[in-house]
Copies of this chain bind each other. A is one copy, B any other.
Amino acid sequence: MNKQLIEGQEKSFISSNPQQKKQKSRSMGEQVNSYPNKLPQTNLAPKSTILNTNTNKDKKVKITFLGGVGEIGKNMTAFEYGNEIIIVDCGMTFPDNDLPGIDVVIPDISYLIANKHKVKAIILTHGHEDHIGSLPFVLNEIKATIYGSRLTLALVENKMKEFSKVKYKAIAVKPKNLLKIGNFSIEFIKVNHSIAGALAVCINTPAGNIIHTGDFKIDFAPIDGSITDITRFGELGKKGVSLLMCESTNVCRKGYSMSESNVGKVLEEVAFKQHPTKRLIIATFASNIHRLQQILNLSQKYKRKVAFTGRSMINVSEVAMKVGELTYDKKNIIDVEKISKYADSELVIISTGSQGEPMSALTRMASDNFKNIKIGENDTIVLSASPIPGNEKNVYNVINRLYKKGAEVIYDELADVHVSGHACQEEIKAIHALTKPKFFVPIHGEYRHMKVHKELAMKLGMEERHIIIPDIGMQLELTPNNLKKTGFTKAGMRLVDGMTLGDTESNVLNDRKQLSEDGFCVVILTISGTTSELVSEPFVITRGVVYNYEADVIVRELKSNLSVFIKSYDFKEMELSLLKNEIRKFVSNFIYKRTKRRPITLAMVMMV
């Protein structure tokens, strides 16, 4: 299959895979090819188009949770009817500290691989890594056409550049578009989120309508002028929603999330107005296109040139510009290498590093390790982001270093320079109230979030038996009158470690943990086969165990004790493996007694 990203509706798409072609002509309605405006704006595909001779009882939609439940990250859910599977989202997550050396974590898709002939489509709600990040791996294993907004697909394209061997087909969709895939028809619904081009989906199935919100908030003053389509949610609610699957990230927060436009006002006040003579450096998430748009607008208003720094910031801003999500006068953008031609008061630098990422632009600036920017007293730096849990120490380290260089630093503790992209309780309640679902499944959250979300739904009047808290691998069955748990399939984490996949069954990760605490020690003894005595001095190597100042003494002592040990030991009758083990224990105990450290210890014996 050719890699083919449809960037606009005018492009046709080519498939070199006959199977795929067949599938396409069989399963995709005209609608998608002719979007955006020729479609009926609000109608789902009429039920009569769904060829289904089953009785109600046989109208079973199977839902398989492959990620994003019981965790924040690697969102992935499969919807299955007969011989058709459509997947919503395909995310990755970053490893916790208990997975040392692991690069990223992706969903275990054994279930999809076993049913790969059924998989028809991957629908992406938006372009964040926890919704698209597994694509390079998943597309290596299953074939499916990708659907998402233009920005989402442009970010996918950008990501797939590094995996040029993986071929795929992608089709851009817009809010109100209707997509027919076999017995499913999918309607896309505009939602606000901390990335542009975010979509919820309503999946019309033989068992009823399923709404999957993706990640969303309700922003009544959005930057792109277009609010979460609560009217459509309400209309669908009137028609009848069988199952609501709603995200839960911020369900513990009372009230409403603040509007993104509020951040612009605060940035104007605390940065542009209050620091007219300073150079402004604003760090934020590259994917927060509306944040970038506001900074660009303010820069124009205050007659400052803008330079983007950091690889992802440069990439994403270009991508967003290409698809029209970011608009600005190009003559106001300058290359970061040219900032020296401008006065500080004429500059805004938009940078990566709002999470204190070690190699990011802002972190390197803070460490005097960034070619074109040297931080000083004439800099006002805004971290327009909140630290993601786990990143606090890195973020505050960067802030402290910037302060020490004399810069002014403004961050979320000091001013409202960031808002969340996720709905708080009142917004979540609105979606429940509008869609009036028969059944409810909280998604995208740790267990605690889904639990609170369940309680929220019950407070709104839903019966407990109509709510299921999902878990990874759980499978549900939706029929027109019922939603029930049917069991579990193999699912969970796959660990990407360099070029191959890691696992938790091997000792690798436990070894790494022990090594990170206490290092390792290798002892090699050469013993005469005839006299059973040491032929030469024991050979000892340690790494990560003893500090320089103590190494000489400890190693010397170990060697001499080992010699004594060997002499005293009657090992002539002993098997070599047993002897090795005795030596290993001796060395390990010696080191522990001297240092209270327990390095991984290996003993080797050469018989000569």
Q: Which residues of A contact B (CB under 8 A)?
A: 70, 96-97, 100-101, 252-253, 389-390, 392-393, 396, 399-401, 403-404, 409, 413-414, 446-448, 451-452, 497-503, 505-509, 511-513, 515-520, 522, 524, 526, 539, 541, 543-551, 594-597, 600, 602, 604, 606, 608
Q: Which B residues are CB-close (under 8 A) to A389?
A: 392-393, 396
Q: Are A403 and B451 touching (Cβ within 8 A)?
A: yes
In the complex, A604→B500 CA distance in Å?
28
Partner pick for A499 among B401, B497, B595, CB 8 A cutoff: B595
Q: Are B544 and A604 touching (Cβ within 8 A)?
A: no
A393-B390, A414-B252, A516-B516 given as contacts; is B403 within 8 A of A547 (CB)? no
Q: Are A499 and B396 touching (Cβ within 8 A)?
A: no
Q: Are B515 and A520 touching (Cβ within 8 A)?
A: yes
Q: Are A604 and B524 touching (Cβ within 8 A)?
A: yes
Partner pick for A498 among B500, B511, B597, CB 8 A cutoff: B597
In the complex, A136→B405 CA distance in Å?
36
Q: Are A606 and B97 touching (Cβ within 8 A)?
A: no
In the complex, A499→B593 CA distance in Å?
9
Q: Which B residues are CB-close (under 8 A) to A500?
A: 547, 550, 595
Which residue of chain B has its CB nearest to the CB of A545?
B508
Interface centre among A252, A413, A498, A550 (most CB of B within 10 A): A498
Interface centre among A512, A519, A520, A544 (most CB of B within 10 A): A544
Partner pick for A393 among B96, B399, B520, B604, CB 8 A cutoff: B96
Q: Which B residues are CB-close (under 8 A) to A446?
A: 396, 400
A549-B503, A596-B499, A604-B539 given as contacts; is B413 within 8 A of A101 (CB)? no
Q: Which B residues are CB-close (under 8 A) to A539?
A: 604
Q: Are B506 and A512 touching (Cβ within 8 A)?
A: no
Shortest Cβ distance from residue A255 to the other chain B in the assembled complex, whole angstroms: 13
Q: Which B residues are CB-close (under 8 A) to A513?
A: 516
Shortest Cβ distance from residue A252 to the other chain B in the assembled complex, whole angstroms: 4
Partner pick for A543 among B403, B499, B515, CB 8 A cutoff: B515
Main DSSP-derived SS at the A contact region: mixed
Q: Which B residues are CB-close (under 8 A) to A499?
A: 594-596
In the complex, A524→B604 CA distance in Å?
10
Q: Which B residues are CB-close (under 8 A) to A400?
A: 70, 446-448
Q: Are A506 and B390 touching (Cβ within 8 A)?
A: no
Q: Are A403 and B447 touching (Cβ within 8 A)?
A: yes
In the complex, A374→B498 CA distance in Å?
41
- List 6 A-B residue pairs with CB atoms under 8 Å apart, sorted by A's residue number: A400-B448, A500-B547, A506-B549, A509-B544, A515-B516, A608-B608
Q: Which B residues are CB-close (under 8 A) to A503?
A: 547-549
Q: Which B residues are CB-close (under 8 A) to A541?
A: 522, 602
Shortest Cβ distance from residue A501 to the other chain B in the assembled complex, whole angstroms: 8
Shortest Cβ distance from residue A550 to the other chain B in the assembled complex, whole angstroms: 6
Partner pick for A606 among B100, B509, B526, CB 8 A cutoff: B526
Q: Are A595 and B498 touching (Cβ within 8 A)?
A: yes
Q: Are A512 and B516 touching (Cβ within 8 A)?
A: yes
Q: 6 shortest A-B CB distances, which residue pairs? A: A516-B516, A498-B596, A515-B515, A389-B392, A511-B544, A400-B447
Q: Are A520 and B543 touching (Cβ within 8 A)?
A: yes
Which residue of chain B has its CB nearest to the CB of A513?
B516
Shortest Cβ distance from residue A253 to the other chain B in the assembled complex, whole angstroms: 8
Which residue of chain B has its CB nearest to the CB of A398?
B448
A401-B447, A497-B595, A522-B541 known; 10 new pairs, CB 8 Å cut-off, are A70-B400, A97-B97, A100-B516, A101-B544, A252-B414, A396-B446, A403-B448, A403-B451, A499-B594, A511-B543
